[in-house]
Structure 1
């Protein structure tokens, strides 16, 4: 089970969380990655934790002021990137171009989608994984695996129908070890979460409790 912690733009200490994530991953053997703001990628990567970008733009080197260049995030230490998070939605052609950019920079990719239909469309573009995240559940503390488990199982089926090599992750409302177990039982091979760690009073304790069922 892959645990990807998205720090979004929360007022947290990205290095503190990265250090905790690296320690928890080393101690438990669970794969844990952290996705900070682009400006913090290098500092987070220096902790040794697996580091992901929150986004890469569908551009190559050139006149693209304000874009997030895939090669730049790779140079900063990122190993993967989210694409099309529901807080940074993109058109299908831009998702495809961002995947091309990530491939150029040798970044692992997770494309986010709102529902199983979108999961199928995203899987057809050839990412490493897709993540189903109903936007109405993001940040609520109510995981989709409990609110509507059929969304997860249908997403797994939709991805498999297109490309069995594409993993399916589960996001939105993930915050506990039970949520990870439930996601795995429904066929997900990873989870995305944010506030459960980034807004926790003790991020290390939150991470330890989260991965305890997997350790």
Structure 2
């Protein structure tokens, strides 16, 4: 099971979360990854945790002020990137360009999508994984696997119909180990979460509880 913790722009200590995630990952068969802000990538990667960027731009080197280059992300220790999170939506052409940029830098890719139809469109672009995240459930603590499990199953089917090699992750409202187990039972091979860890009083305990049922 793949667990990706998106720190967004929350006022947490990214290094402390990363150290906790690295320790917890060492005690379970799950892969626990952390996606910090771009400025924190190197510090987070130095903890040894699997590190993802929150986004990479579709362009390469050149006159592109404000870009997050895939090459720079990789140079700072990231091994993958999120794309098209509901808080940073992109057009399909831009997603495609960012996937090409990630491929040049040998980064794994997770493309977020709101529903099974968007999952199919994203899977057609050839990412490593897609994450289905109904935006109305993000940050609510109510997981999509509980609120609308058909969305997860339909997303798994939609991706498989387009490209069976694309993994499907479940996002939005994931906060407990039971949520992770439910996502796995619905066919997801990973979960994407944020506030359940980044805003927790004790991120280490939150992570331990999250992966405990997977042992």
State the alpha-carbon separation in 2 of the partners of residues 28 and 161 from structure 1: 31
Q: Which residue of 1 aligns with 2:9?
A: 9
State the alpha-carbon separation in 2 of the partners of residues 19 and 126 from structure 1: 31
Q: Which residue of 1 aligns with 2:44?
A: 44
* Runs of at least 5 residues in structure 1 that lack an aligned partner in the other structure: none
Q: Secondary structure at the match of 2:111?
A: strand
Equivalences for residues 198-209 of structure 1 within 5 A: 198-209=198-209
Equivalences for residues 88-99 of structure 1 within 5 A: 88-99=88-99
Q: Which residue of 1 aligns with 2:102?
A: 102
Q: Which residue of 2 aligns with 1:191?
A: 191
Q: Which residue of 2 aligns with 1:160?
A: 160
TM-score of the aligned structures, taking structure 1 as reference length: 0.99
Q: Secondary structure at the match of 2:59?
A: coil
State the alpha-carbon separation in 2 of the partners of residues 29 and 93 from structure 1: 36
State the alpha-carbon separation in 1 of the partners of residues 181 and 19 from structure 2: 24
The Cα of 1:30 is off from its aligned counterpart by 1.6
TM-score of the aligned structures, taking structure 2 as reference length: 0.99
Q: Which residue of 2 aligns with 1:65?
A: 65
The Cα of 1:175 is off from its aligned counterpart by 0.2
State the alpha-carbon separation in 2 of the partners of residues 203 and 156 from structure 1: 29
Q: Secondary structure at the match of 1:28?
A: coil
Q: Which residue of 2 aligns with 1:144?
A: 144
* Runs of at least 5 residues in structure 2 that lack an aligned partner in the other structure: none
State the alpha-carbon separation in 1 of the partners of residues 182 and 69 from structure 2: 36
State the alpha-carbon separation in 2 of the partners of residues 119 and 45 from structure 1: 29
The Cα of 1:27 is off from its aligned counterpart by 1.5
What is the Cα-based RMSD across aligned positions, in Å? Answer: 0.4
Q: Secondary structure at the match of 1:188?
A: coil
Count of residues paired in the alignment: 215
Confirm whether residue 23 of structure 1 aligns to residue 15 of structure 2: no
The Cα of 1:29 is off from its aligned counterpart by 2.7
State the alpha-carbon separation in 2 of the partners of residues 83 and 124 from structure 1: 14
Q: Which residue of 1 aligns with 2:214?
A: 214
State the alpha-carbon separation in 1 of the partners of residues 180 and 37 from structure 2: 25
The Cα of 1:96 is off from its aligned counterpart by 0.2
State the alpha-carbon separation in 1 of the partners of residues 73 and 28 from structure 2: 27
State the alpha-carbon separation in 2 of the partners of residues 28 and 113 from structure 1: 28
The Cα of 1:212 is off from its aligned counterpart by 0.2
Q: Which of structure 1's runs of 4+ aligned residues deviate more than 2 A?
A: none
The Cα of 1:28 is off from its aligned counterpart by 1.7
State the alpha-carbon separation in 2 of the partners of residues 107 and 141 from structure 1: 30
Q: Which residue of 2 aligns with 1:34?
A: 34
Q: Which residue of 1 aligns with 2:54?
A: 54
Confirm whether residue 119 of structure 1 aligns to residue 119 of structure 2: yes
